[in-house]
Amino acid sequence: MASPEIRIPATHYPVERFTLPNGLRVVLSPDRSAPVVGVSVVYDVGIRSEPEGRTGFAHLFEHLMFQGSANLEKLAHFRYVQGSGGTFNGSTHLDYTDYYEQLPSNALERALFLEADRMRSPRITEENLQNQIAVVKEEIRVRVLNQPYGGFPWLRLPPVMFDTFPNAHDGYGSFDDLEAATVENATDFFERYYAAGNAVLSVSGDFTVEEATRLIERHFSDVPARPAPARPDFGEPDLTAERRSSYTDALAPLPAIASAWRVPDPVKDLPGYLPYVVLAEVLTDGDASRLVERLVSRDRVATSVGGYLGFMGEPFAVRDPTALVLSSHLPPGGDPDKLLTTVDEEIARLAQDGLAPGELHRVQARIATHLLRDEDSVLNRALHLATYEIQRGDASLALDLPRQLGEVTAEQVTAAAATLRPERRASVEVVPGGDQ
């Protein structure tokens, strides 16, 4: 059975953009095929922008945005969204924070009202602050402190690779810093970063552009105009010597190691960046990938291996500086040095001998499936459009990305592999401290 050379399909959906007089950028993508809408507001502030001594503050603030607003009591936001048949959430990332709802399309105006109301003025009180500090501490316990491999590698690698506070610090935050947060800190943070000019609203799904535009103007036009703050340059120089660190995880029964290499600027140099996105998949996507085949199946020096772009695994929603990350769990008594040596060997082999016939095309076909599947949800579509718009001023990248990824050449992938040298690498090793 020969593998067919399948044609990789393109995505087609309308993308409309406009800016309100107060500076709020808007992206609309109608799709009438199901009676649902996705609504998202993305603010151009994330973990990298939180002040020293206030680690975890961007995330804590995200929680506070759900605690009531100008015309809504505490709990009202949740009840209005869910009582309309919808779901909601928010999430804090290195370079942005998003708030979103997915609802039956008859609730579109209600969702716009809710977002506009908290963009105007969230209700930040001492009581709600203390409540959400407690909730966030439990979130950190569930996800990090009470779990084997908690925070590995996303919280553990950046401090090895980077030297400056914005890039290196723990985005979940220390309990001391969280407990020291004040209402005044929150008010200042809102004033500075949650400006109409620092946000993008996107709506995707079952509506007409005319109707959505009318509703958006109705609800957002009088949000006060505040300009976006100047975004600092978070750049750091590339590594010139290998960095290596380790820590003991009392709950981890087996060793693990993760490594990262800096990659080109995802926003300013997208053509230089895309080959690394393909490379990560060539190395780690599925049983036919280079590192799974070698490390897991053949040599058994790893029980699992993963590879991706960006410490939070979102290749197209992160700014410079960022990295290609390879993360492996090892069998009992596994040797992390041997694993790294084998990774180096495989990368060197790829850089020297190039890709096998058909290898690039099959990996690109699978990448296309992942992209399309993700965009099948109107909510994901809205979120992608908003992050592309806020970071690149180009929401319509969503339509062109599959083509651009499909045009990455074998030579570009091998050239990218050639840059993953040991002296540019930062690694962190988990030493098992749990029951062996």
Partner 1 sequence: MSITEVPDLAPETTLTLPESVEKTLGNGLTVIAVHRPSVPLVELRLRLPFAQADTAISSVLTQTLFAGTAGKSMVDIAAELQAVGGGLSAGGDPDRLLIAGNSLADGLPHMLRILNEVLTGAVYPANEVRTERERIADRLKVAAQQPAHVVARALNRRLYGDHPYASQTPEAEDVLAVETGVLRAMHDERLHPNGGVLVLVGDVEPHTAIAAVEEALGGWNGAGTLIELPPVAPFVTGPLTLVDRPGSVQSNIRLAMNGVSRTHADNAAQQLTNLVYGGYFSSRLVENIREDKGYTYSPRSGVEHSAAGTELSISADVATEVTAPALWETLYEMGRLATVAPGKEEVEQARRYALGTLRLGTSTQSGLAGLVSVLAGSGLRLDWLAGHATRLAETTVDDVARFAAANFAPANAVAVILGDAQVITPSLRAITAIEAA
Nearest to 387 by CA among 16, 101, 97, 65: 97
Binding string, residues 31-70; x marks residues near partner 1 by CB under 8 A: x-xxxx---------------------------------x
Are 306 and 154 a contacting pair, CB within 8 Å?
no
Binding string, residues 210-249; x marks residues near partner 1 by CB under 8 A: --------xx--xx--------------------------
Binding string, residues 325-354; x marks residues near partner 1 by CB under 8 A: ----x-xx----------------------
Please identify, using beta-carbon distances, which residue of 137 and 424 lies nearer to partner 1.
137
Would you count residue 435 as binding partner 1 (CB under 8 A)? yes
What are the strands, taking DSSP E only, across 243-393?
243-249, 256-262, 304-309, 323-329
Would you count residue 6 as binding partner 1 (CB under 8 A)? yes
Would you count residue 376 as binding partner 1 (CB under 8 A)? yes
Would you count residue 180 as binding partner 1 (CB under 8 A)? no
Would you count residue 79 as binding partner 1 (CB under 8 A)? yes
Would you count residue 71 as binding partner 1 (CB under 8 A)? yes
**From the list 279, 283, 296, 420, which residue makes contact with partner 1 (rule: CB under 8 A)?**
296
Are 48 and 223 a contacting pair, CB within 8 Å?
no
Would you count residue 406 as binding partner 1 (CB under 8 A)? no
Window of 4-12, 177-185, 259-267, 423-431 that interacts with partner 1 by CB under 8 A: 4-12
Please identify, using beta-carbon distances, which residue of 129 and 157 lies nearer to partner 1.
129
**Distance of closest approach, residue 143 Cβ to partner 1, in angstroms:** 8
**From the list 16, 91, 105, 197, which residue makes contact with partner 1 (rule: CB under 8 A)?**
105
**From the list 23, 51, 109, 272, which residue makes contact with partner 1 (rule: CB under 8 A)?**
109
Are 189 and 43 a contacting pair, CB within 8 Å?
no
**Distance of closest approach, residue 149 Cβ to partner 1, in angstroms:** 8
Are 29 and 381 a contacting pair, CB within 8 Å?
yes
N-term to C-term CA, the chain: 45
- Work out whether strand 97-104 and strand 87-92 pair parallel, antiparallel, or are unpaired: antiparallel
Q: How distant, in Å, are the alpha carbons of 93, 154, 160, 239, 252 from that of 427?
A: 22, 12, 7, 12, 18
**From the list 15, 368, 397, 428, which residue makes contact with partner 1 (rule: CB under 8 A)?**
368
Partners of 88 in beta bridges: 101
Are 258 and 325 a contacting pair, CB within 8 Å?
yes
Window of 228-236, 272-280, 313-321, 369-377 that interacts with partner 1 by CB under 8 A: 369-377
Would you count residue 400 as binding partner 1 (CB under 8 A)? no
Binding string, residues 130-169; x marks residues near partner 1 by CB under 8 A: xxxxxxxxxx-xx--xxxxx--------------------
What are the strands, taking DSSP E only, across 186-241?
199-205
Would you count residue 378 as binding partner 1 (CB under 8 A)? yes
- Work out whether strand 97-104 and strand 304-309 pair parallel, antiparallel, or are unpaired: unpaired
Collect contacts of 121-127 with beta carbons under 8 A, ≥24 apart: 121/69, 121/70, 122/64, 122/65, 122/67, 122/68, 122/69, 122/190, 122/194, 123/67, 123/68, 123/69, 123/70, 123/72, 123/74, 124/64, 124/67, 124/183, 124/186, 124/187, 124/190, 125/67, 125/183, 126/183
